[in-house]
A and B are shown apart, each in its own frame.
Chain A
Amino acid sequence: MSQPIQTSAELNPRSVANKRDKRKLLEAIRMALEIQSPTIRRNTQTFNRGRYQATALLPDYDALKDEARRIKETSIARLPELIEQLRKVIEARGGQVFVARAAEDAQRYVRSTCTRVGAKLVVKGKSITSEEIRLNHVLEAAGIEVAESDLAEFILQVADEQPSHIIAPALHYSRERITALFKRKFQTELALETGEELTQFAREILRQKFLHADVGVTGANLIAADTGTLMLVESEGNIRMTSVLPSVHVAVVGVEKIIPTRREMAPFLELLAASGTGQLMSSYTSFLDPPIGDAPFAMAGKPRRPREFHLVLIDNGRLRMREDAVLRETLYCIRCGACLNSCANFQTVGGHAFGGETYSGGIGGSWEAGIGKLENARFSELCTGCSRCVNQCPVRIDIPWLNENLRNRLNREAGESILSGALTTLTSAPEADERSPASKLFFGNYHWFAEWGSRFPRIANSLGHSRLARWVLERSVGLDPRRKLPLFPQKTLVSAAVRTDGNCAADAVARVALFPDVFTNYGMVERGLAALRVLRAIGADVVITDSLPEGRAALSQGLLATAKEFVQRAASLLDTQIGRGRDIIIVEPSSLAMFRRDARHLLEDSAQFERLRTHTFEPVEYLTRLLRHLGHNPQSVFDVGRSPVGTRLFYHSHCQQKTIGAAAATEEFLRAVGFDVVSSSVECCGMAGSFGYKKDFYELSMAVGEDLFDQVRRAESETAPRALVASGTSCTEQLHAGMHREVLHPIELLAAILRD
């Protein structure tokens, strides 16, 4: 038997920072849910809203992202050469450059620099890279006082905790908890009951540190190889003080921060501020060519030393990451935190659970794996692949894809069990996925179980709900017993649909093929039938294809070989239909998103991917285009008066549907038909495919869902109830679990109100 999980009161976040052992991950989730969650939620969601608002104000937001991406790609491609160019520029100006291969090399260099100048006090600006190399610990061991001057870092130093966010490292601390912490640690009688009082308290301590520091240590957001310019973004003024007041300035900078020219810093100015804190510009954005010419600051009695500048470039695994086709993407990261703030799981537990010893959130796993060991990235399990971060990343990193690859690598290291061997044989898993854990093979091959269950639905449904079977499923593959299993239908969509031969009727308004995705074919059959009914009513010629797994489930479990095999087979099936002049309709958004987005990594033929991307549609999205093309008003086709659930709706779109741009159409269409629609604004419902079905993550999944349930309750608070409408299969399950009410798909509702 494993040891019982510790209660949160006993936990110091440091003790669960490394999650090589899965138990630590579970302890950290529990700690975060019990203690930190409300504060994290408030702070990340404030950042998230701010980012949407600020980026909307940038008229060239997409062009800026493209430009930033291109610059980062070039920089990493030219990195070794840029390092040498930068070295020459800085040295010609009288500065020193040290390239640290490992964290220890950097520690040694900074420590010896500090001891050489006789430093007693080092003041630090915010630098997560210095956290990565554990610099404070090394300097303190050498008898040097280290003062963290960013207020969040100051809190963490007092509390001895690791950062919980890439740009707001103490984001998990509420004002009340900071008050309690300061009163306890500083033994002060001061009230410290407001943000102003706490700020003033810390400011007075730190002002003395700035004025008397011997060495200032900063990071840098970017550094230009042609001029040696550091770009430093902040809001408190501490980084300015740290970089200009002490006579010795040490900048600890990851090598990936180097870009070719100072001019190319331009697109990052607004992009970083908007993506990070949701501002048009942060309070201070400095561009320094150190050593700067200003005289160092020296209070009376302190000798005025000449300025020194040391650039410590950190490799620590980065040059190895550069050679890794997947992890190389991580080096484009400009550390804005947008992927953290837009992530529903991160918004609920923050970076002490969804993070490692230094880095956190969606991108954090790749950082931890790249600079350390693969097992350190185990927390990336909390990336559900919902993809909400994808469009938020200012350098267009496909973060879910990185995490699916990490999962794939972790799967291979898991070691085979009897059960995983059996599942491999049953599902005919490709060789590369053979050794994956049983739970991954089970959830990744859902279609196999669904297909068998649908052959004998009565038996499968009663078995699936028996206590014994649920106990076995819980113990063997980690399926949470509190989750209701979907019922297998008496007839699959394929067998229930009236097959047509596919010949185009001469007067058809459109030619389409409905792809019966696994979730619709073996579960939500009514949705598929409704799509057929609506499209045919408008005069479209619709055929239904065979049902095949498209690889979504496998991809989300990191079974990349399986996903590749499946999506290639499904792609060739759909491509044939496209070749016959048909557009493809897919009801389940996660399946649709495979062809619109994820398949780019898995299909070898990029022209085929492009055909699929441009010819696959969500049903209501397609309806919108079709009626517009025909010049029909939606109200001439649908009669809202016939609605069996009234005209007031609460609509929740699917996370991946939002990412591929297929969500807004449904909302607009329902309104155009005459419904009164309130939409959810959550990033994801928390179920996220199979994530919420796993017993390890059930509590987290429900806690994420609470935001959605709360929005439903608020939409209904002062008025009558609203009918619940959702586009995703797992969102439907989650909404049902939270609200205990029927949930309709938009197409089902539309099919019910077709005019004769």
Chain B
Amino acid sequence: MRKFKWGHLYLVLVFIMLYLPIFYLVGYSFSDGERMSHFTGFTFRHYGELFNDPRMIQIVLDTLLLALLSALIATIVGSFGAMAINRTVKPVVRNTVLSLNNILMVSPDVIIGASFLIFFTALNVPLGFLSVLLSHIAFEIPIVVLMVLPRLKELPGTMLDAAQDLGATNFQVLRDVILPFITPGIFSGFFMAFTYSLDDFAVTFFVTGNGFQTLAVEIYARARQGISLEINALSGVMFLFALLLVVGYYFIQQGQSARKQKKGGR
């Protein structure tokens, strides 16, 4: 029991380390100064500036749209990809596909960015929203596959056989047996993909032209010019948004496991 208390203390320290910089960042958004040191008086002024900055609002909306759209498409493609891998019987083919799948997972961002830049230039794809969207989908697919595949592996083959023996069509097997079983994996895959998109800077930096900016690229440009507390205000808004999403996600998950328990589990 005593060991557990030490464990809790350690975890608290990790959480402090994870959150202190974020609170520091958000805290100074209320400071009536222009710098991120020596808090001087409380104000909402920087939030006012932020909400009256149409360029910034447009960039935030673009970034969110990009993350949602790319994560959605990547989840669909990746889930079916995982099913394809799972169905492959030959170990050689299976391992080759898995290795290929993992290439973008383990590739450094700059390699992805640089090679995509060459790719888009070779195909004459204009650099902008389209090139960024395609890139984000591309680097999100493997994480979806990796999240869905373990669930698929746990799916007992006897269940599929039973469904087919009982006369289910392929589509019915997919809809009524496979999909419900792998839903947790799909959800985690979608959220990881969404996270990757919001978090990405390097790939976007390479393949975006002048027309389209994501938040990360814009912040990089501004941070190099020095500190502006408008960015801190933006962090405050983003943090609140992330918090709301997490709470929503948590309740969805709780609902799911409750339903599973009601059914009697396995």
Q: Do A and B come from one complex?
A: no
